[in-house]
C-alpha cells in the first residue's frame, strides 16, 4: 500500500488516545472510521473532539469553518465490519494483551491484505502483536503521545517482522498529519518509557526515603533541568497505576532489578491514589 493510496483510516478504540488519533487524521483531510464497543463511548469521543477543535479555533490553529468539515470526516461506529473500508488502521484499545490480541485478530480478518495495521501500545511487544496477525510484515507500532492533537512526537516502533516498505509508508504518513516520527526498534518500553519511567521511579524512591518532598523533587527538575513538568506531576498525569504497569514490563522484559517499581508507587496504587484521574497522587487535584 503506497502512502498516496491511503484515504481512510480505521481507529480501534475511541478513548483518550483513539479520539485524539481520529482528530489528527481528520484534521489533515483523512476520512476516519472510529470504532468502539458502545455508542456512549463514541458520543463522548465526538464531544471531546468537538471541544478540542473549538480550542484550536480559538488559538487560530484552524478556521471556524474547518470544524464541521473535520467532524464530518469522522464516521463513529460500533460495527467492526466497517473496518473493511480502511486503507490503514490504528489500534488504541486498553493496554491488556488479551484484549489487544482479540481486537487485532478480528481487525486482521476484515482489513484488505495490503492494508497496514499499527498499534498504539505503550509497553506491549510490537513483535508479539505482529506475530498474532496474518500480516506481521505489515504491522508496526505507532506510539502517539497524550494529548495527541498537541504533542508532535510519534515514536514509530519496528517489530522484528516489519518490512522496510511498511516502515517508510508509516513514517511518511506521520509527516502527512504534521507529526514528527522518530524510529526505534522493538524493545521493552521502547525509548520513551525506558528513559522516562526510571526517572519517575527514582523520584518516587527519593520521596519514600525522605530525601525530599514531592514538591522539592519536582521544583529541582523544573528549575534546574528546565523540565516543563516535574517527574511526579507527570507521573500523576500519566496515572500511577500505568507507571507501575510499565515498570513491571521493563522489570520482566529485561530481567533487571534496576527497573523494580518503587514500593511507595505500589502502595499509592493500592490506596487508590492513582494521580490526577482519582483526585490524588503525589499531589491533590480538584475532582468533578
Ligand X SMILES: NC(=O)c1ccc[n+]([C@@H]2O[C@H](COP(=O)([O-])OP(=O)(O)OC[C@H]3O[C@@H](n4cnc5c(N)ncnc54)[C@H](O)[C@@H]3O)[C@@H](O)[C@H]2O)c1
| Positions in the binding site for ligand X (CB under 6 A) | 12-18, 35-37, 41, 92-95, 99, 103, 120-122, 143-144, 146
Shorter beta-carbon distance to ligand X: residue 57 or 198: 198
Helix (DSSP H) and strand (DSSP E) numbers for the chain = 11, 8
We find the least distance from the C-beta atom of residue 210 to ligand X, in angstroms, to be 30
**Closest to 215 (Cα-Cα) out of 231, 194, 199:** 231
- Chain centre to alpha carbon of residue 155: 10
Question: How is residue 145 annotated by DSSP?
Answer: -
Concerning whether 146 is annotated as a catalytic residue, the answer is no
**Annotated catalytic residue 143:** yes
Query: Which lies closer to ligand X via its Cβ, residue 37 or residue 110?
Result: 37
In the 8-state DSSP scheme, what is residue 137? G
Least distance in angstroms from the C-beta of 190 to ligand X: 10
Residues contacting residue 152 through CB under 8 Å, at least 6 positions apart: 178, 179, 180
Q: Which one is catalytic: 19, 52, 122, 123?
A: 122
Closest to ligand X by CB, 14 or 204: 14
CB of 173 to ligand X, least distance (A): 18
Produce one character per residue of 31-62: b if its CB has 16 or more CB atoms within 10 Å, e if not.
bbbbbbeeeebbeebbebbeebbeebeeeeeb
Residue 95 beta carbon to ligand X: minimum distance, rounded to whole angstroms: 4
The active-site residue out of 193, 201, 206, 278 is 193
Nearer to ligand X, 15 or 50 (CB): 15
Q: Would you please indicate which residues are annotated as catalytic (active-site) residues?
A: 122, 143, 155, 193
Amino acid at each position: 500500500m503506497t502512502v498516496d493510496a491511503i484515504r481512510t483510516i480505521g481507529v480501534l478504540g475511541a478513548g483518550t488516545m483513539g479520539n485524539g488519533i481520529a482528530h489528527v487524521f481528520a484534521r489533515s483531510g483523512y476520512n476516519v472510521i472510529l470504532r468502539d464497543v458502545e455508542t456512549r463511548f463514541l458520543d463522548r469521543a465526538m464531544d471531546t473532539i468537538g471541544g478540542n477543535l473549538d480550542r484550536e479555533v480559538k488559538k487560530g490553529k484552524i478556521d471556524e469553518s474547518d470544524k464541521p468539515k473535520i467532524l464530518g470526516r469522522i464516521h463513529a461506529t460500533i460495527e467492526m465490519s466497517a473496518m473493511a473500508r480502511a486503507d490503514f488502521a490504528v489500534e488504541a484499545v486498553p493496554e491488556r494483551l488479551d484484549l489487544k490480541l482479540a481486537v487485532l485478530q478480528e481487525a486482521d480478518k476484515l482489513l484488505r491484505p495490503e492494508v497496514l495495521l499499527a498499534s498504539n501500545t505503550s509497553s506491549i511487544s510490537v513483535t508479539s502483536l505482529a506475530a498474532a496477525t496474518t500480516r506481521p510484515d505489515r504491522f508496526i507500532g505507532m506510539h502517539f503521545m497524550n494529548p495527541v492533537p498537541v504533542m508532535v512526537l510519534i515514536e514509530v516502533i519496528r517489530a522484528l517482522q516489519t518490512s522496510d516498505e511498511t516502515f517508510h509508508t508509516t513514517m511518511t504518513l506521520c509527516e502527512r498529519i504534521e507529526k514528527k516520527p522518530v524510529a526505534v526498534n522493538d524493545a521493552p518500553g521502547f525509548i520513551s518509557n525506558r528513559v522516562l519511567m526510571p526517572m519517575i521511579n527514582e523520584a518516587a524512591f527519593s520521596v519514600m526515603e525522605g530525601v525530599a518532598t514531592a514538591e522539592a523533587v519536582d521544583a529541582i527538575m523544573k528549575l534546574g533541568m528546565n523540565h516543563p513538568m516535574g517527574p511526579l506531576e507527570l507521573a500523576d498525569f500519566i496515572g500511577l497505576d500505568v507507571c507501575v504497569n510499565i515498570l513491571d514490563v521493563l522489570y520482566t522484559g529485561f530481567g533487571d532489578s534496576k527497573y523494580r517499581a518503587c514500593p511507595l508507587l505500589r502502595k499509592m496504587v493500592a490506596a487508590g491514589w492513582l494521580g490526577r484521574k482519582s483526585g490524588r497522587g503525589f499531589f491533590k487535584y480538584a475532582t468533578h
